[in-house]
Amino acid sequence: MFELGQLRCFVAVAEELHFRRAAARLNMTQPPLSRQIQMLEQELGFPLFLRSSRAVRLTPAGAVFLDQARNLLRMAEGAAQEALRVARGETGSLTIGFTAASSYAALPRLVALVRAGAPGIELNLREMVTGEQWTALRAGAIDLGLLRPPAHGLPFLRLEREALLLALPRAHPLAGEEAVDPAVLEGQPLITYPPLDGRYLHDLVLSVLRLSGVAPGRVQHVSQTHSILALVGAGIGLALVPQAAERFRPVDVVLRPLRGTPPLLAELILTWPEAGNPVLEAVLAVLRREWAEPARGTPRT
């Protein structure tokens, strides 16, 4: 097969229609140029030029091949440029796994920051629960995970810290209070996260209860926060949910801080398999620089 150098020789001769001038343009002498063209012609199996000792002309097949050669050379340069931009993290694509809950506040903010700070980078978004995200991170199916701790040793960035709020029906006697005493949970049916799939929030809720010295009644496990809120609204029980739930709270449910509770904060982290992907590095650089924990990430005072 021919080589790109031969194509460069061919294009030069085809454009100059003069071997000596073409050779000068290529910074070489003319005999080796003649040989390169001959070898190219032999490789291709047809003549590219009609040499009449006084003039050089392209054959019809040569004219066709000239178009192709120019295309190939242009594409070759473009290929290097394109990949170089990816290597520099200036362009490329990342796939982000995110939990349903994060899609209301953290995810839109993250997408907006990346769009503004690294406009060449395309983000593919895939909603999946925390457990799926770990699998996907290990398999390389996603480049970033937006999920709850722990990070299992992987590098991570903490995006949000939010207090757990008590979710109770609007019709509940204490719904009008500014803040609610944890004691009301004593013996009450509680809806909380499952210990495996939603381990982090499950443990966090238990910590809150333990620290408050409260023992709830029957406990129901539901993994998605919006389902929990729906059950609360239906009067099935009370629940402790992260503050972000305020964004998708049904109208018949209200969220209230627990009075006197030590600030147990639910964290949302961004994690990734490892360093080395420049596109990823570019996105992380933007986030480290631009992301400031919003005021709403701290509990109401």
Residues near a copy of itself (CB under 8 A): 1-5, 43-47, 50, 59-62, 64-65, 68-69, 71-72, 75-80, 82-84, 86-88, 92, 276-280
CB of 41 to DNA, least distance (A): 9
Give SS3 for 71.
helix
**Residue 299 in contact with residue 265, Cβ under 8 Å?**
yes
176-179 long-range CB contacts below 8 Å, 24 or more apart?
177/256, 178/256, 179/256, 179/257, 179/258, 179/259
Stretch of residues binding DNA (CB under 7 A), selected from 20-28, 163-171, 200-208, 270-278: 20-28
Among 73, 69, 10, 59, CA closest to 39: 10
CA distance 165 to 257: 5
The two structure tokens encoding residue 298: 């701290």
**Nearer Cβ to DNA, position 43 or 293?**
43
Closest distance of CB 86 from a copy of itself, Å: 4
Q: Which is nearer to a copy of itself, 28 or 230 (CB)?
A: 28
- List binders of DNA among 40-69 (CB under 7 A): 51-54, 56
- The site partner of 254 among DNA, a copy of itself, none (C-beta below 5 to 8 Å per kind) is none
Is residue 228 a contact partner of residue 275, using CB atoms and an 8 Å limit?
Answer: no
Least distance from C-beta 66 to a copy of itself, angstroms? 9
Q: Measure the CA–CA gap between 101 and 99, rounded to whole angstroms.
A: 5
CB 12 within 8 A of CB 32: no
Q: Which of 5, 119, 155, 187 binds DNA (CB under 7 A)?
A: 5
At which residue do the structure tokens 């939010």 appear? 162
- Residue 288 interacting with DNA (CB under 7 A): no
Q: Compare residues 54 and 288 and give the one whose CB is closer to DNA.
A: 54
56/204 with CB nearer DNA: 56
> What's the min distance (Å) between Cβ of 212 and DNA?
48
